[in-house]
């Protein structure tokens, strides 16, 4: 009898706990470059539950690009395998040679998530502003799905608010669901309960959402939609979750 009770209790805890959110991650060593000696930045690509610091394997991405002044450069050849949160991940170095706003964009291979019975594809980007330039951060890149910032995505304090617009095939997504998580890299914070791990926002009729940043660090925003097309898994057609993901740093002035 007691074994049955324990099994029932464990099952109830699983059923009652909010599901962990997935995030593609592209994290640069710095979001702002002002001196030539700091012009080479390191980028870390991974796939995880960032607040809980639980990793998942990321096979070599389908593509990895940097976009500046509307021009895209393929930098996938620079990727090297590493471990992040104990799982396969990737790193790259990139040297910035001129002023600009550099958008680093990863398109991963589809990830099969058995717990959700679907594939996951997160189009993930981040921004690095260099040598005083700050034009072009509000331009969409033409990704399958993306978040276009309405707040400048660099040079922000913690306690600022961030606004963005969710696009799918270049069109606004009314009522898009946006998940928000902090990259709890040094495990500084512990969520008071399961609902606090992932914040959830609904975009308005124009696909626009706003979130107030409670504390400093790297924050990820993932706008989720379901693709019209399905993908086959073991002979059956499965849904594909599309994620428009963007990562930004919000700074405590006392830490700089």
Q: What pLDDT band is residue 19 in, cutting at 50, 70 and 90?
A: low
Q: What is the reported pLDDT for 256?
A: 52
Judge whether residue 200 has pLDDT over 70.
yes
Cα separation, 105 vs 146, in Å, equals 10
Q: What is the reported pLDDT for 128?
A: 98
pLDDT digits (tens, 9 = 90+) for 29-80: 999 999 999 999 999 999 999 999 999 999 999 999 999 999 999 999 999 9
Q: What is the reported pLDDT for 140?
A: 96
Q: What is the reported pLDDT for 104?
A: 98
3-state secondary structure of 190: coil
Buried b or exposed e, range 20-32, using 16+ CB within 10 angstroms? bbbbbbbbbeebb
Cα separation, 148 vs 124, in Å, equals 12
Q: Which residue, chain included where needed, has tokens 């409670």?
A: 214
pLDDT digits (tens, 9 = 90+) for 88-122: 999 999 999 999 999 999 999 999 999 999 999 99
CA-based torsion, 202, 207, 210, 216: positive or negative = positive
Q: Which residue, chain included where needed, has tokens 């994290």?
A: 27
CB 109 within 8 A of CB 120: no
pLDDT digits (tens, 9 = 90+) for 137-161: 999 999 999 999 999 999 999 999 9
Q: What pLDDT band is residue 253 in, cutting at 50, 70 and 90?
A: confident
Q: How large is the average pLDDT for residues 191-217?
A: 97
Q: Which two tokens stand for residue 8?
A: 């029932």
Rg of the chain in Å (alpha carbons): 19
Burial of 15 (0-12, 13-18, 19+ CB in 10 A): exposed
Closest CA to 31 of 157, 144, 146: 157
User: Tell me, which fold does domain 20-255 have in CATH?
Assistant: Immunoglobulin-like (2.60.40)
Domain map (residue ranges) of the chain? 20-255
Q: What pLDDT band is residue 1 in, cutting at 50, 70 and 90?
A: very low
**Residue 56: partners with Cβ closer than 8 Å, 6 or more residues away:** 22, 47, 48, 49, 87, 111
Question: Model pTM?
Answer: 0.91
Rounded to a whole number of angstroms, the distance between the first and last alpha carbons of the chain is 58
Q: What pLDDT band is residue 195 in, cutting at 50, 70 and 90?
A: very high
Cα separation, 18 vs 127, in Å, equals 30
């Amino acid at each position: 009898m007691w074994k049955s009770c324990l099994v029932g209790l464990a099952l109830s805890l699983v059923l009652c706990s909010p599901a962990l959110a997935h995030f593609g991650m592209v994290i640069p060593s710095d979001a702002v470059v002002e001196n030539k000696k700091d012009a080479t930045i390191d980028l870390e690509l991974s796939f995880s539950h960032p607040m809980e610091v639980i990793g998942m394997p990321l096979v070599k991405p389908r593509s990895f690009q940097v976009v500046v002044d509307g021009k895209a450069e393929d930098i996938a050849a620079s990727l090297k395998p590493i471990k992040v949160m104990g799982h396969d991940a990737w790193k790259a170095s990139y040297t910035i040679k001129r002023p600009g706003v550099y958008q680093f964009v990863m398109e991963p291979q589809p990830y099969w998530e058995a717990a959700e019975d679907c594939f996951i594809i997160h189009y993930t980007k981040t921004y690095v502003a260099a040598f005083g330039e700050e034009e072009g951060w509000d331009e969409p890149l033409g990704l399958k799905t993306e978040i276009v910032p309405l707040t400048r995505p660099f040079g922000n304090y913690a306690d600022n608010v961030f606004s963005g617009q969710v696009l799918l095939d270049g069109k606004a997504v009314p009522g898009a669901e946006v998940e928000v998580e902090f990259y709890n890299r040094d495990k500084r914070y512990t969520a008071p309960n399961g609902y606090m791990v992932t914040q959830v926002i609904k975009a308005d009729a124009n696909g626009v959402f706003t979130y107030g940043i409670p504390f400093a660090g790297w924050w990820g925003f993932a706008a989720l939609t379901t693709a019209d097309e399905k993908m086959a898994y073991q002979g059956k057609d499965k849904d594909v979750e599309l994620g428009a993901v963007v990562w930004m740093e919000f700074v405590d002035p006392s830490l700089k």
